[in-house]
Chains A and B, each alone.
Chain A
Amino acid sequence: MATHQAALRATTVEPHAPAATGVWSWVTTVDHKRVGILYGVSAFAFFLIGGIEALLIRAQLARPGLEVVSAQTYNALFTMHGTTMIFLAIMPFSAAFFNYLVPLMIGARDVAFPRLNALSFWIFLAGGLLLNASFLAGAPPDAGWFGYANLTSRAFSPGLAVDFWLLSLQVLGASSILAAVNFVVTILNLRAPGLSLMRMPVFVWMTLVVQFLILLSFPFITVALIFLMFDRFFGTHFYNVAAGADLHLWQHLFWAFGHPEVYILILPAFGIVSEVLPTFARKPLFGAPVVIYSGVLIGWFGYWVWGHHMFAAGMGPVADAAFSIATMVIAIPTGVKIFNWLATLWGGSIRVTTALLHAVGLIGLFTIGGLSGIMHASPPVDLQQTDSYFVVAHLHYVLIGGSLFGLLAGAYYWWPKITGRLLDERLGRVQFWLLFVAFNLTFFPQHYLGAVGMPRRVYTYPAGVGWELWNLVSSIGAFGIGLAILLFAVNAVRSLRRPATAPGDPWDGRTLEWRTSSPPPPHNFDAIPPIFGRDSFWREKYGPRRGPLAPPPAEHGLHLPAPSLWPPLLALGIGVAVGGALIHVAVVVLGALVAVYAAFRFALEHHRDPAHEHQVGGLGVDHRKLAMWAFIGSECLFFGSLIATYMAYRGASVVGPHPHEILDIPITTISTFDLLMSSLLMVLALAAVQRGDRFQSRLWLGGTALFGLIFLGFQAYEFTTFVHEGLTLQRNLFGSTFFVLTGFHGAHVALGVAWLLSLLVLDLRGRLDVRDSIKVEIAGLYWHFVDIVWIVIFTLVYLVP
């Protein structure tokens, strides 16, 4: 066995040409491993900022009545701490692991869309910098990471603080959606032959679940923030109670995102633990299919329980009961996961490494966090616990005890793979125990503080009500956590200064990433690895070997994605355009021009590159088509939220004009017919391109665009007429909801027209033929989707009385 292993290593570790170096190579990189490292380093930097914010918070609360910071600053600190840790630390830490590991674990050379991957990172960085620029502008967001309307409205939060918050969250959301589309396609399409879904490592499975959660939950916060943006910038009334608005709207939209977000934060850690435990117990994950199913179920149920954040908001007993039961049900798959992890360790031959310690720490601490979660799944109990320090304790047991311990386990586990160097185990153990003790010292007493009535988000508290001692203890613990993180940083830096001598498989790993050198070559594997089943690499080393289960693909030379400047430039344009909204409209235009230019260069960079023509993977569907389907799934919820808001606010306007007084059904019927016909032309255009009929492809592409333009003309006419008749965005809730809904649909049509015209120009210049039909096909998918959305809008807005 041992000789076999040695032979295996010898074949997989080969000298390769040194990778490009220098800052520029990092700016233009599209290598998933480098993008992963960029994510990790940025996340750690933001994590330190969020940590400093936390320490200031705990310094202020160490004693009653302290004035370390002012009330206003304190409010900014907890807002920025929450927003930073969620969006700029844990999510990108997870993204770092997704990026670095998923292609390696599925035996791929990169992600499906390497440039899109780089774009996701740069947009994320732009969003993170924009959010923190608020400190430099002297206007850090201070309305809470949950930004409850109507405290965030101009009336109660004048100034730039909330603008910074909402704009940077929109940017970060765009980054997440793009990354999610990319990873869905990567995982479904780029698996090595033989690596069926159920043979995938659990970490890859959890990644997949997280990507679906991002696609299906981010649209809600996008819409909530769009409403807030329109309220603040353009005077609409989505959250204006005087105009008839219902403040539950924000809460429903926010938590419909916010609760799945919890699983977006925790499931990657569950995935990491499911890899670390089997390696160090030297046993397969116990009941792997059940662990996978339970992860999927956690994601699925987690999607339907947002209302448990609103038990105090007065939804009524029926809704309370329903959300309560749904929430409790999540405990079942979560419990199954924990028991399966215990059973994995049971009977193993456990090597207590730092990675294992963190993974085991997660099991214990997350169990506590999960159980306190069940306590507030009961609405009556929740009424005593919500918005108290009990919840602060609960969420930190989940997000530090769960997510952070999991991420640290992953950091110790995969550090040698990423850097070629091992972290110091002794220092690591000291760090683990310090973190473990300090964490419990900080957060366990907060359960008690909540039970004795200390509310959250208070910058000070009175003496003599029994809160002093445990606040002091908690503050001391927090600085211990800070020290532990410092130790981790020291360990990392020291390791990087040593020579890269780690072997490819230092832990006797089970999955494919250990089958290549540490760090892997730019192309990951010299040959796409054969698959022998679940834990393929372990089977390859120790048996029982079945297979290989499928012949490796026939490769004609290695194709590695070329570096590209356009992703960072496009992200820069987006960042400037969005940040410009806080400065001057000219800056917005400038940023938008850069973004549009970069987007076109991006799109055409590899047009006609033979290596990019055939992109069919595991599902037998072209990557680009699969990506469009994933994106459309997300868009369904985007429009669903807009339409649902319109329906919820129907009849809520306190002044006219009302829909029946103003909507012109005959005219709109004509424009609807026009749009439907454009779908028909789209079908003809695609057919023409596919059979290489240049005349007809031009005719129908142009015709589709023209019909789209006619529809937009109708919409312009309709909007102008309405404004003349007194219906504006600012007039009433009907105006706000109607114009934002139909306006966003119109914007989608306009984007579609621009897309079709670009294809037409390509065609006219002779650069669009049968080989490019996929490009027309995905444009068509988008176009048909936008048309279908209009049918729903037309029915619900115009036809339903």
Chain B
Amino acid sequence: MKFGASIRPRSPALLLAALALGGCAWDVPHSTLQARSDLAREILGLYALITWAAIGIATVVCVVLAWVLLRYRGRPGAPVPRQTRGHTALEIGWTLAPALVLLVIAVPTIQVVFRTQGAATPGALEVVVRGWQWWWEFRYPELGVVTANELHLPAGRPAVLRLEGTDVIHSFWVPQLGGKRDVIPGRTNQITLTPDTPGVYPGQCAEFCGASHANMRMLVVVHPPGDFERWVAGQRAPAREPAGEAAAGKAVYTRSACVGCHTIRGVSAGVVGPDLTHFGSRRTVGAGLLPATLDNVAAWVRDPEAIKPGVKMPALGLTEAEARALAAYLLSLE
């Protein structure tokens, strides 16, 4: 899997820090410390402020503690030290000092809370995000596009993600694009953000949601201006008619239980599993688990449980040949 060119260290200092922390910056595509949207930048600014304040206080406390331990180490036979019971002025002082530090943190915190949770910008791209055990559905009501496990957004245009729960609580989290927000059945939560750098950003469910919570991943593809429209046009097109092995795969699809749960426009209309009309255009299979290669897709349709424990999709008892044909068909649906 490749995660776009945008994930590069921005400065030598960051690179050094990342190396010191045991990885190369370009190896940490889930990093919360690389902001690629307005929301993520707002958060990162606050994050940095509070982190430095915390590091400063921790350093002072630890240094004082170490110094006190060295300086006032008792020797055998030392006299009983003076029984100091307190010092009012000092104590008032170190009550007020943390209060002042907190004020410095609290004011920008409240500002960011209200700025990032305001009403959606008019003209924002609306996406309905639905969490399912254990995959993501993305619906673009204005565009008539439905996709799964791969969210596409244009760079530079505000997007409103309306989070709708279906079964249990999930949490939508794409660290480089901003903080997480729970996807709760019966409530509609919202994330407003404007991605600013084209690239591919991985994300993952962040609220424990059952057996395969670890396997509920996704990708967000941020398109350069203009490119997004091309993607939309592709998604709105009807499903491709297959040829060759893929045609045999279509026959497997239509006679199997696949049709009960999945939609391929013009072929089947199931709604329990991901819409597969343009499956071939996606990078991964199994909700971000594996690259969508013929081998992986065939393995997935033969025995999904082996890849994703607890998965709701049953093994259909396909032969190896049927599975490969089906995979070829699905991958042909670009």
A contact residues vs B (CB 8 Å cutoff)? 70-72, 75, 143-144, 148, 150-151, 156, 241, 244-248, 281-284, 286-290, 312-314, 316-317, 320-321, 324-325, 328-329, 331-332, 335-336, 338-340, 342-343, 345-352, 360, 363-364, 367-368, 371-372, 374-375, 378-388, 445, 448, 450-462, 464-466, 469-470, 542
Contacts and interface: CB of A to CB of B under 8 A. Distances in A.
B169 interface: yes
Nearest to B80: A282
Given A281-B72, A329-B102, A363-B61, A335 B94 contact: yes
Nearest to B117: A317
A593 B265 CA distance: 64
Contacts of B169: 148, 150-151, 247
B231 interface: no
B82 A347 contact: yes
B321 to A, nearest CB: 28
A112 B250 CA distance: 78
- B interface, size bucket: 35 or more
Given A286-B86, A388-B206, A460 B214 contact: yes
A316 B187 CA distance: 12
B179 A466 contact: no
Given A324-B109, A375-B50, A284 B83 contact: yes
B147 to A, nearest CB: 21
B46 A378 contact: yes
A72 B81 contact: no
B28 A465 contact: yes
A384 B186 CA distance: 24
A282 B102 CA distance: 34
Interface in B18-32: 21-24, 27-32
B214 A360 contact: no
Contacts of A348: 72, 74, 81
B212 A312 contact: no
Contact of B212 (A71, A325, A345, A378): A71
A352 B78 CA distance: 14
Contacts of B72: 281, 345-350
A375 B187 contact: no
11 contacts: A75-B210, A241-B186, A247-B184, A312-B171, A331-B98, A332-B99, A342-B65, A360-B69, A384-B179, A451-B32, A457-B208
B38 interface: no
B102 A342 contact: no
A151 B29 contact: no
Contacts of B205: 455
B51 A342 contact: no
A363 B65 contact: yes
B217 to A, nearest CB: 8
B181 interface: yes
B184 A342 contact: no
A314 B94 contact: no
B91 interface: yes
Interface string B158-194: 0000010101110101010011111011110110000
A383 B181 contact: yes
Contacts of A314: 163, 181-182, 184, 187, 189-190
A448 B22 contact: yes
B91 A342 contact: no
B95 interface: yes
B197 interface: no
A364 B61 contact: yes
A420 B51 CA distance: 47
Contact of B113 (A339, A380, A450): A380
Contacts of A340: 91
Interface of B: 1, 21-24, 27-33, 42-43, 46-47, 50-51, 54, 57-58, 61-62, 64-65, 68-69, 72-75, 78-87, 90-91, 94-95, 97-99, 102, 105-106, 109-110, 112-114, 116-117, 133, 163, 165, 167-169, 171, 173, 175, 178-182, 184-187, 189-190, 202, 204-215, 217, 309-310
Contacts of A71: 211-212, 214, 309-310
- What are the 4 tightest A-B residue pairs by CB atom distance, in nearest-first order? A383-B179, A453-B30, A349-B74, A458-B214
A290 B81 contact: no
B28 A156 contact: no
Contacts of A70: 309
B211 A324 contact: no
B182 A381 contact: no
B175 to A, nearest CB: 4
Given A384-B47, A455-B206, 4 more contacts: A151-B209, A314-B163, A339-B91, A340-B91
Nearest to B29: A465
A374 B106 contact: no
B167 A380 contact: no
B212 A380 contact: no
Contacts of A321: 109-110, 113-114
B74 A324 contact: no
B74 A379 contact: no
B29 A72 contact: no
A151 B131 CA distance: 13
Contacts of A144: 208
Contacts of A457: 208, 213-214
Nearest to A290: B91
A42 to B, nearest CB: 29
A312 B110 contact: no
Given A247-B185, A342-B61, A381-B43, A350 B171 contact: no
B58 A452 contact: no
Nearest to B56: A371
Nearest to B95: A336
Given A312-B171, A364-B65, A451-B31, A151 B208 contact: yes
Contacts of A466: 22-24, 27-31
A453 B61 contact: no
Given A349-B78, A455-B205, A380 B179 contact: yes
Contacts of A372: 54
A676 to B, nearest CB: 40
Contact of A284 (B85, B87, B106, B186): B85
